[in-house]
Structure 1
Amino acid sequence: MVLKNIIRSAALCLRTWSVFSNVRQGNNTLLGFKHTQCCSYMNWTSASTYKGDETLPGQPVRQYARAVRKKQEFPSQLQDLPPSLLKPEYASIPLAQTVDSVVKKLLTLEFANHSEKLHMKEEQLIAKVRRDENDHSSTEVKVAILTARIRNFQEHLHKHPKDKANKRWMLMSIDSRKKKLKFLRRTRYDAFEKVCQELGITYSIPPEYYRRVTRRWLAKKAFCNKVFKEVQKQKAEQRETERSSD
């Protein structure tokens, strides 16, 4: 009895498998209906036999995915740093020049983190604008440090545009650099020109008077202009009357 049940179940499985294999190959006569659009959905496994982006015949094409926009590459300020350059803390040690090549490679910028490379870039910009070798706190040095940090914030925001905290720090650094450049332009104009030329800064002169535009201010300004025109009109009429009386 058990053997008979096993044989019946095996025969049923083979019959079911043969029917579905015929449907997959396009032979739908065993099921008693013709090939329609619904059969094309059942025959989805045969879509891999089509070339390119072709779809099954009679199947609607749906395009849900949007075209991927490639971001433009933002040039990094750390690209000009050679990887074979020693780190600043090891550059002044004479023993670092005579060690093994493997150890020396570990002391170079090739294995340095981002903060160490940024510090190295700050030192390079400071060397271009500082007054002497012992200058570490002048206005020119502060402008060079802020310039390196602002460019670092710009690179980060290009990759992560929704980082509001870094955007706030970048805007604060830009305002601080503007104040220092304005002071340097007023006190030492030759140093101001040198800093802008060496660091590649484009300085735009701020307006002498700036006021935030509000509705109240616009209404007040329009009223004042109207009163001024009315006063000028009355004065002109008064002059004409004086000339006619003379």
Structure 2
Amino acid sequence: MIPNVGLRVFLKSSSNILRGSSSLLPRTSPAALTPATFNATGSFAASQPVRQYARAAKASGTGQSQLSDLTPDMLKLDYTAVPLAQTEKLQLKKEQLIAKVQRDETDRSSVEVRIAILTARIRNYQEHLQKHHKDKANKRLMLMAIDKRKKLLKNLRLVRYETFERVCEQLGITYTFPPEYYRRATRRWLAKKEFCIKVFKAVQKQKAEQQLKMKQNLRTTETEEHKATAA
């Protein structure tokens, strides 16, 4: 026991000596603790700490705006000095698209005009969401406008196909057909569909057999009547 007690006393005294010596040393800043670099002038300079968790900034959309083809002289005199007259430019873009598809100069409520207005709004929302991709409100408005335009294009395609093709060509719209099934194809749904097809085929086969029997019965009755009349 005696040697162990002496060893403990020695360790405690040595730790106290180290603490006292560390308190006498001058305090340094965190920047001084970083690795030092040697400058061209001959002095040492501490390098800045590198943060490994920092992520690179996401690149913003660099696509060309649909309002870039509008010249400044097209704006009103009140807005010529304003650098970003977005509402005025959007209104001019609507008028430009309407002029391509309207039936006459006074046409402001036809299906073609409504499609042109919705197209200008949709493209404006798309440009806005390229810069602010977390804007849920404008994304919802854009999806609602796309649904409205899809319904109008569908009706126009069924009623007047030539006008539908002209509107799509003038406005640069690519019309895609909706999918055949909106429901997700699960294993249960596929098995049910296969079973329904088998039942349908079996019913059709039974109907065909019944029709064949009826035809045979009619033929036999006709032949018997013909024999009876001949006798």
**Alignment TM-score, normalising by the size of structure 1:** 0.59
Cα deviation per residue 1:148-195 (whole Å; 9 max; x = unaligned)? 000011111111111111111111110110111111111111111111
What is the match of residue 74 of structure 1? 63
1:65 aligned to 50, 54, 64, which one? Answer: 54
Distance 1:63 1:213, change over 3 A: closer
**Which runs of 5 or more structure 1 residues have no equivalent in the other structure?**
1-18, 25-38, 88-103, 239-246
8 Å contact kept, 2:34–2:49? no
Cα deviation per residue 1:47-85 (whole Å; 9 max; x = unaligned)? 59489xxx969x996523223332231321111111122
**Count of aligned residue pairs for this structure pair:** 178
Counterparts of 1:171 and 1:65, CA distance in 2: 34
Task: Please say which structure displays the higher CA radius of gyration.
Answer: 2
Does residue 1:118 correspond to 2:90, yes or no? yes
8 Å contact kept, 1:84–1:109? no
Cα deviation per residue 1:133-155 (whole Å; 9 max; x = unaligned)? 01000000000000000001111
Counterparts of 1:40 and 1:180, CA distance in 2: 66
Does residue 1:150 correspond to 2:122, yes or no? yes
Does residue 1:213 correspond to 2:202, yes or no? no
What is the match of residue 110 of structure 2? 138
1:167 aligned to 139, 154, 158, which one? Answer: 139
Tell me the secondary structure at the aligned position of residue 72 of structure 2: coil
How far 1:214 moved relative to its partner?
Answer: 6.5
- TM-align CA RMSD: 3.9
2:75 aligned to 86, 90, 98, which one? Answer: 86
Alignment of 1:86-105 (within 5 A): 86-87=75-76, 104=77
Percent of residue pairs identical: 55
Cα deviation per residue 1:210-232 (whole Å; 9 max; x = unaligned)? 34237564452243245568x49
8 Å contact kept, 2:35–2:46? no
8 Å contact kept, 1:85–1:108? no
State the AA in 2 paired with 1:159: K
State the AA in 2 paired with 1:213: R
State the AA in 2 paired with 1:210: Y
8 Å contact kept, 1:109–1:117? no
**Which runs of 5 or more structure 2 residues have no equivalent in the other structure?**
1-24, 210-231
